[in-house]
Structure 1
Amino acid sequence: MALLEVENLGVRFTRRDGPHVDVVQDVSFALDAGGTLGIVGESGSGKSQTVMALLGLLASNGQSSGHARLRGEDLLAMKPAALNRIRGDRIAMIFQDPMTSLNPFLTIERQMTEALQQHRGVTRQEARNRAIEALERVRIPDAARRIGRYPHEFSGGMRQRVLIAAALMMEPDVLIADEPTTALDVTVQAQILALLREMNRERGTAILLITHDMGVVAELCDDVMVMYASRAVEKARTAALFARPQHPYTAGLLGALPRLDAPVGATLSTIPGNPPMAGARTAGCAFAPRCAYAFERCHIQAPVLQAEGTRSRACHLPADIALQTASGVFA
């Protein structure tokens, strides 16, 4: 049994002025202990709402459906009190925006030690010592002094490192990281990724990574799930997906990446058009209006995510078709 099993997850938001909006539809994946899964896609594809549903952190007008089992216990069926005992302990999250994730009225020490004292029953001094150690691991200088400061006294990158330290010191079974390196410079980003790899390999922590950065996925993740317009369109091992994408959207994402082996003066390819509005209903494939490979069936019938060997994809194209890659050649 996988550590975390998500089956047919759906997220729907109700609106007073119109029909409901489905922002996540029929998403399924599994994550083993010590495994790493990256979820990628453009803004609005449903990545963040997927993990918010797992943690019971949807907005008041949001509803989740399906199943999300952590060691056999369904997170989506839990009452708030039971979920609170798991959240921050067995499953932790590094949020994308450090300024809104940290309480401006509480010191960093208070915010980092509270979860340790609540979930592990340690003394305040022990919790403080472990928090300082965690801050030092994420390269916060003079951590013993800075831990008594407030969030506004830290830079954006340092606040992000505080969030990472707070999550890591709990040693959770599953760590969800939503764009964890966005606010960091490349040097600190490399250090944080090394820290996440260490935690993953040495302690068996499973990592669920939400990101736009395909380079971070290549560096950290064993598997990748690509989302577009609220649905998963391709799932594969990371090396296989980068070597040979089998969905035109995945090929488009990889095509937008700069490559060291590209000819001098080569321009990056782009995906034409824009993704559909959240909740937009289309008769066929949601990506068809932007797809260079679309044919008549794509505009009429929505493809279903189907397993093909060790990978899955939702596309009407033959599995062996060669999709154009970033270098301008064909895979």
Structure 2
Amino acid sequence: MALLEVEQLGVRFMRRDGPPLTVVHDVSFALEAGGTLGIVGESGSGKSQTVMAMLGLLALNGRAHGHARFRGDDLLAMKPGALNRIRGDRIAMIFQDPMTSLNPFLTIERQMTESLQRHRKLTRRAARTRAIEALERVRIPDAARRIGLYPHEFSGGMRQRVLIATALMMEPDVLIADEPTTALDVTVQAQIMALLREMNRERGTAILLITHDMGVVAELCDDVMVMYAGRAVEKASATSLFNSPLHPYTVGLLGALPRLDAPGGAPLRTIAGNPPLPGSGGQGCAFAPRCAQAFERCHQETPLLRASGARERACHLPAPVARGAHA
């Protein structure tokens, strides 16, 4: 049994002035203990809403269906009390926006030690010591003094490191990281990535990484799920996906990356057009309007995610797209 198993997870938001807005369509994936899975895609592809639904953190008008089983127990069916005992303890999350994830009215110490006192039953003094050690691990200088400060007294990058330290100090079974290094400079980003790899390899922490940075995925992840317009369009090992992407969208994503071996002055390739607005998809493949290889069936029938060898893709093309093909 997988440590975390998501099956046919869908998310929709209720609206007063119209029908429900569906933003995630029947997404499934599994994460083994000690495994690393990257979920990639453009903004609005449904990456963050997928994990927010798993943890019961959708907005009040959000509704989720399907299953998200942690050690066999369905998170979506849990009562709030039972879910609270898992969130922040056995499953920890590094949120994308440190400005809204930290309470501006509480000190960093209060916010970090609360989880340790609640879930680990530590004394306030012991929890403070452990929190300071966690801040030092993410390279926050003078941590013993800074832990008594408020969030507004930290830079954006420092606040992001506080969130990372808070998640790491709990030593969770599953760590969900939503764009964990976006606000960090390159040096600190490398240090944080090294910490995540250490947790994964030495402690067996399973990592679910949500990002648009394919370089981070290549560095950390064993497997990758590519999402577009709320659907999973390709699943593969990281090695397979980077060596030979099968879906035109994945080809486009990789083709837009800067390459050290590219001829001098060669322009980056882009994907034509724009992604659809969340919930605006009609019939057919959502990527078809931007795909140079689309044909009539693509505009009429939504492709299902099907196995292609040891991998999966949702595409009507009869054969894998050659590496480097323009999408």
1:160 match: secondary structure:
helix
Following superposition of structure 1 onto structure 2, how do residues 140-289 of structure 1 map, counting pairs within 5 Å? 140-289=140-289
Amino acid corresponding to residue 296 of structure 2 in structure 1:
E
RMSD: 1.1
Q: Which residue of 2 aligns with 1:138?
A: 138
Amino acid corresponding to residue 243 of structure 2 in structure 1:
A
Identity %: 82
Gaps of 5+ in 2: none
Deviations 1:245-299 (A, max 9, x none): 0000000000110000101110000001111111113211000000011011111
Gaps of 5+ in 1: none
Following superposition of structure 1 onto structure 2, how do residues 1-331 of structure 1 map, counting pairs within 5 Å? 1-325=1-325
Amino acid corresponding to residue 160 of structure 1 in structure 2:
Q
Cα contact 1:112–1:166 (8 A) shared by 2? yes
Cα contact 1:248–1:323 (8 A) shared by 2? no
Q: Distance in 2 between matches of 1:302 and 1:166?
A: 41
Change (3 A) 1:231 1:145: same
- The Cα of 1:309 is off from its aligned counterpart by 1.9
2:253 match: secondary structure:
helix
Q: Distance in 2 between matches of 1:121 and 1:265?
A: 59
Amino acid corresponding to residue 49 of structure 2 in structure 1:
Q
Q: Distance in 1 between matches of 2:323 and 2:196?
A: 33
TM-score, normalised via structure 2 length: 0.98
Amino acid corresponding to residue 293 of structure 1 in structure 2:
Q
- The Cα of 1:196 is off from its aligned counterpart by 0.3
Q: Distance in 1 between matches of 2:77 and 2:170?
A: 24
Amino acid corresponding to residue 280 of structure 1 in structure 2:
S
Deviations 1:173-219 (A, max 9, x none): 10000000000000000000000000011000000000010000001
Change (3 A) 1:101 1:321: closer
2:265 match: secondary structure:
coil
- The Cα of 1:323 is off from its aligned counterpart by 4.6
Amino acid corresponding to residue 107 of structure 2 in structure 1:
T
1:170 match: secondary structure:
coil
- The Cα of 1:308 is off from its aligned counterpart by 1.7
Q: Distance in 1 between matches of 2:250 and 2:79?
A: 37
- The Cα of 1:324 is off from its aligned counterpart by 2.7
1:43 match: secondary structure:
coil
- The Cα of 1:318 is off from its aligned counterpart by 2.1
Q: Distance in 2 between matches of 1:69 and 1:319?
A: 34
Q: Distance in 2 between matches of 1:176 and 1:52?
A: 10
Q: Distance in 1 between matches of 2:110 and 2:300?
A: 56
Amino acid corresponding to residue 167 of structure 2 in structure 1:
A
Q: Distance in 2 between matches of 1:320 and 1:27?
A: 22
Deviations 1:15-44 (A, max 9, x none): 001111111011000000110000000110
Q: Distance in 2 between matches of 1:101 and 1:242?
A: 33
